[in-house]
C-alpha cells in the first residue's frame, strides 16, 4: 500500500535532514515537556465538521481587507526569529515565497536579515516587536517599521520572561558566527533568548505604543477574553489568539479552546487572528468557524524554507490553500462569511 505522507510532513522531514540538530530543536521544540507543542496540532484532529450540501460552491471568495491590506487568503506568516539558522536565504526566502503567493508576512523583531533589506522584495508586511526594557530602542523599531513601509505593528504580549526550554538549551547556547538579530544590532543582545524581554510591561505600555504611531498595533498572545477586551480598549487594531506555539508555558490552553470567548469579547471591533498548530486546510476552516478572521502559520513555512527556499515557502502556502478550498467546497461555504460555528459538531450556534 503506498505510504501516506502528508506533503507538509514531507517538507518537515526534508527540513530536518538539512538542518543542524540544535537549530531543529530550537525551531520545533517548546516549553518544558513540550506537551503543548504536541497538543497544538493534535487538538484540531478532535474537532469535527458537519458539512452542508446543495450549495453552489463554483466560485469561492476568500479575500478580505485587514489592516488596510487586501488579504487574498486568510493566512499570514507568523513572526519567527533568526531564520538564517534554518536556511542560508533566511527571511529573504520567506518574504519572496510569501510575495509570490500574495501572503502577508509578519517580520520578526529578531529577524536575521534586517527589515530594511527585506522590505525591498517583500509584499505587504507587518513588523513584529517586543516592548523592550529600553523604550527608546522600542520607539526606534516603530520608526524603522514606518520607514520601511510596514502596514502594522505586531507586539508580543505573552513573553514577559524567557520560556523554559530544556531541549533548546541542551542544543544551542549561543548563536553561530555570522547570524544575529539584524534589527537590533545596536541593542547588543548577547544571549540566545530573553535579553530584550521586559517583565514589567503593562497595558499602559501598550497604550504608549499605540500612541507612538498611526500604524495599527496588533496584540499577539492573548487567550483570556478580558485581556482581549482590555487590549481593544488600549487601542490595538487587532488581536492574535496564541499560546506562542507552546514555547512559553507548558500545558497552556489551546488557542481553539479560547477563540470563541475572545471573539465574543472583541465583538467585531478589530480583527481576531489565531495561531498555533495549524497544519491542514481544515484547521484553518475550523479556526474561522469559531470566529477567527485569519490564521498564522509558523513552523510549517520554515520547513518549506529550509527544504526549498522561497519556492518551499510558497508551496507550503499553496498546499494549505488547496486544502482550505476543498474544505470550503465540501462544507458548502462559498464565502468566508459562510464559515460559521454551525459547521463544528457540538457548537451551539
Residue 328 to residue 77: CA distance in whole angstroms = 21
Q: Which residues are catalytic?
A: 244
Q: Which of 91, 96, 110, 158 binds a second copy (CB under 8 A)?
A: 158
Q: Which of 76, 137, 222, 288 binds a second copy (CB under 8 A)?
A: 222
Residues between 289 and 348 with contacts to a second copy, criterion CB under 8 A: 322-323, 325-327, 329-332, 345
Residue 120 to residue 345: CA distance in whole angstroms = 45
Q: Which of 69, 72, 114, 164 binds a second copy (CB under 8 A)?
A: 164
Measured at the CA of 192, the angle between CA 28 and CA 78, to 5 degrees, comes to 45
Q: Which of 102, 134, 140, 257 binds a second copy (CB under 8 A)?
A: 257
Q: Which stretch binds a second copy (CB under 8 A): 117-125, 222-230, 292-300, 305-313?
A: 222-230
Number of chain residues interacting with a second copy (CB under 8 A): 80
Residue 294 to residue 326: CA distance in whole angstroms = 17
Binding mask 81-120 for a second copy (x = CB under 8 A): ----------------------------------------
Q: Which of 79, 90, 163, 187 binds a second copy (CB under 8 A)?
A: 163
Whole-number minimum distance, CB 203 to a second copy, in Å? 4
Nearest CA among 306, 310, 314 for reference residue 15: 306
- State whether residue 168 is helix, strand or coil: helix
**What is the DSSP secondary structure assignment for residue 74, as one 8-state letter?**
S
Whole-number minimum distance, CB 149 to a second copy, in Å? 28
Whole-number minimum distance, CB 117 to a second copy, in Å? 31
Asked if 264 and 298 touch (Cβ cutoff 8 Å), the reply is no
Q: Which of 11, 15, 28, 265 binds a second copy (CB under 8 A)?
A: 28
Q: Which is nearer to a second copy, 32 or 114 (CB)?
A: 32
Measured in residues, the chain has a length of 349
Residues between 50 and 79 with contacts to a second copy, criterion CB under 8 A: 50-58
Residue 173 to residue 328: CA distance in whole angstroms = 45
158-185 core/surface letters (b: 16 or more CB in 10 A; e: else): bbeebbebebbeebbeebeeeebbbbbe
Write down the residue that cell numbers 520607539 correspond to: 139
Q: Which is nearer to a second copy, 57 or 72 (CB)?
A: 57
User: What are residue 274's DSSP bridge partners?
Assistant: 241, 295
Q: Which is nearer to a second copy, 111 or 282 (CB)?
A: 282
Amino acid at each position: 500500500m503506498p505510504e501516506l505522507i502528508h506533503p507538509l510532513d514531507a517538507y518537515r522531514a526534508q527540513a530536518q535532514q538539512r538542518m543542524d540538530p540544535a537549530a531543529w530543536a530550537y525551531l520545533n521544540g517548546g516549553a518544558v515537556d513540550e506537551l503543548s507543542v504536541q497538543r497544538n496540532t493534535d487538538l484540531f484532529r478532535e474537532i469535527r465538521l458537519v458539512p452542508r450540501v446543495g450549495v453552489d460552491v463554483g466560485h469561492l471568495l476568500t479575500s478580505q481587507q485587514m489592516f488596510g491590506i487586501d488579504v487574498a487568503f486568510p493566512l499570514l506568516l507568523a513572526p519567527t526569529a533568526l531564520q538564517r539558522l534554518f536556511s542560508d536565504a533566511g527571511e529573504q526566502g520567506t518574504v519572496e515565497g510569501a510575495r509570490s503567493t500574495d501572503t502577508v508576512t509578519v517580520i520578526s523583531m529578531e529577524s536575521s536579515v534586517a527589515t530594511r533589506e527585506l522590505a525591498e522584495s517583500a509584499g505587504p508586511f507587518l513588523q513584529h516587536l517586543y516592548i523592550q526594557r529600553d523604550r527608546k530602542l522600542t520607539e526606534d523599531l516603530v520608526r524603522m517599521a514606518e520607514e520601511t513601509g510596514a502596514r502594522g505593528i505586531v507586539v508580543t504580549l505573552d513573553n514577559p520572561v524567557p520560556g523554559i526550554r530544556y531541549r533548546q538549551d541542551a542544543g544551542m547556547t549561543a548563536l553561530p558566527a555570522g547570524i544575529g538579530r539584524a534589527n537590533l544590532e545596536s541593542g547588543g543582545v548577547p544571549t540566545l533568548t530573553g535579553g530584550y524581554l521586559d517583565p514589567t510591561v503593562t497595558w499602559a505600555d501598550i497604550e504608549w505604543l499605540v500612541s507612538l504611531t498611526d500604524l495599527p498595533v496588533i496584540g499577539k498572545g492573548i487567550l483570556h477574553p478580558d485581556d482581549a477586551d482590555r487590549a481593544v480598549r488600549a487601542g490595538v487594531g487587532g488581536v492574535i489568539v496564541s499560546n506562542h506555539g507552546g514555547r512559553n508555558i507548558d500545558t497552556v490552553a489551546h488557542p481553539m479552546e479560547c477563540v470563541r470567548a475572545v471573539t465574543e469579547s472583541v465583538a467585531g471591533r478589530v480583527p481576531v487572528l489565531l495561531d498555533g498548530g495549524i497544519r491542514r486546510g481544515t484547521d484553518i476552516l475550523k479556526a474561522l468557524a469559531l470566529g477567527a478572521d485569519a490564521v498564522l502559520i509558523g513552523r510549517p513555512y520554515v520547513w518549506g524554507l529550509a527544504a526549498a527556499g522561497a519556492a518551499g515557502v510558497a508551496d507550503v502556502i499553496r498546499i494549505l490553500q488547496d486544502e482550505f478550498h476543498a474544505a470550503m467546497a465540501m462544507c458548502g461555504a462559498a464565502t468566508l462569511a459562510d464559515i460559521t460555528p454551525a459547521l463544528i459538531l457540538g457548537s451551539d450556534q
